[in-house]
Amino acid sequence: MNKIFCILFTCCMALFACSSHHTAVKPKIANNGVNIAYIDTGKGDTTLLFVHGWCINKGYWHNQTDYFSKNYRVVAIDLPGFGQSGKNRTDWSPQAFGKDVNAVMTELDLKNVVLIGHSMAGDIVVQAAANDPKRVIALVGVDNFKYVGIAPPPTAQANEAYDKAIDSLKHHFTAIATEYINEQLFSKSTPDSIKKRVINGALTCDSSIAAACMQRSDLDDATEIKKAGKKLYLINSDPSPTAVAGMQKKQIPFRLFTIKGTGHYPMLEAPAEFNRALAQAINSMHVGS
């Protein structure tokens, strides 16, 4: 009996050692001491790096990470302040978030990166591309950049009104965030399950960080996109149309894909159609898997 036990024990230890030897250690990523949570799956010469929008997290890309990891390396991150990433800083600007994305690309040594940013992350991926253009081959905006080169500069009165709205958001976050999401971010066809997920997720966020992300930025989208020097692919929903005339006037190279009948979260509301549009965009970049 003891001999049999010894044989079994030896075999188990050998299997454990073999398994341990082949298990890759996932590197920890931080930017200036702030932890950045991420997933890294799939293989390929091209990397799709997904960056979420306001008050959501990397889990909102689940349908995309599953689908595209069959042919590409896929990375999705939690921006600092959201999801499982750290909160130990005070700068929540697009420039700061852009450097977080750069930290991920550098630490994982990503090459041939397609940066995909939803909502407020449009500005973030543009910043990241401008910071490290050699790693990035293209930019994909998801339901953003709808008025590039069109909107006139805000007046002092408009800026004051906006600042007051942000101050109200800070002090009455639950009520104002719920109203804003319900009225501005959903369509008539948005499923109740998605509405519940988005609202509940937003209300569990750190309200001070969420409000800070909405502060006025001095960035001019047209200028920043041109500075990044990459073609912009837009996958936008149709309740509010994308004004392409501004990008044409500013000579910004772009291609627009429209997802019909969804709200602000087309990757959740119409994942199959969204994935087809993103695949078509990637194929038109002439990149390998």
The answer to whether residue 180 is domain-embedded is no
CB atoms within 10 A of CB 248: 12
Judge whether 120 lies within some domain: yes
Query: Collapsing DSSP states into helix, strand and coil, what is residue 1?
Result: coil
Number of domains composing the chain: 1
Instruction: Give the pLDDT confidence score for residue 25 in this predicted structure.
Output: 72
Q: What is the pLDDT of residue 6?
A: 42
Asked if 77 and 104 count as a contact pair (C-beta separation under 8 A), the reply is: yes
**Whole-angstrom distance, CA of residue 2 vs CA of residue 116:** 59
* 196 in a structural domain: no
**Which pLDDT score, from 0 to 100, does residue 151 have?**
76
What pLDDT, on the 0 to 100 scale, is given for residue 287?
A: 61
127-to-40, 111, 176 alpha-carbon distances in Å: 22, 17, 29
Domain range for 22 is: 14-153+218-284
Cα–Cα dist 100/115, whole Å: 13
What pLDDT digit, counting tens, does each position of 68-91 carry? 999 999 999 999 999 999 999 999
209 domain-assigned: no
Residue at 30 is within a domain? yes
- Assess if residue 111 is contained within a domain: yes
Residue 61 near residue 88, CB atoms below 8 Å:
no
* Helix, strand, coil % over all residues of the chain, rounded to 5: 45, 15, 40
**Residue 125 and residue 51 in contact, taking contact as beta carbons nearer than 8 Å:** yes
Give the dihedral of Cα atoms 87, 172, 267, 50; nearest 10 deg: -20
Nearest to 27 by CA among 103, 80, 114: 103
Q: Residue 49, SS3?
A: strand
Q: What is the pLDDT of residue 218?
A: 85
Q: Specify the 3-state DSSP secondary structure of 92.
A: coil
Question: Are β-strands 73-77 and 38-41 bridged in parallel, bridged antiparallel, or unpaired?
Answer: antiparallel
What integer pLDDT is reported at residue 2 of this predicted model? 45
- Which parts of the chain sit beneath pLDDT 50? 1-23, 288-289
Q: Within a domain: residue 191? A: no
CB 210 within 8 A of CB 177: yes
pLDDT of residue 217: 87
Residue ranges of alpha helices (H) inside the chain are: 2-22, 62-68, 94-107, 121-131, 156-171, 173-180, 192-203, 207-213, 221-228, 245-249, 266-269, 271-284
**Would you say residue 181 lies in a domain?**
no
Q: pTM higher than 0.85, yes or no?
A: yes
What CATH number does residue 61 fall under? 3.40.50.1820
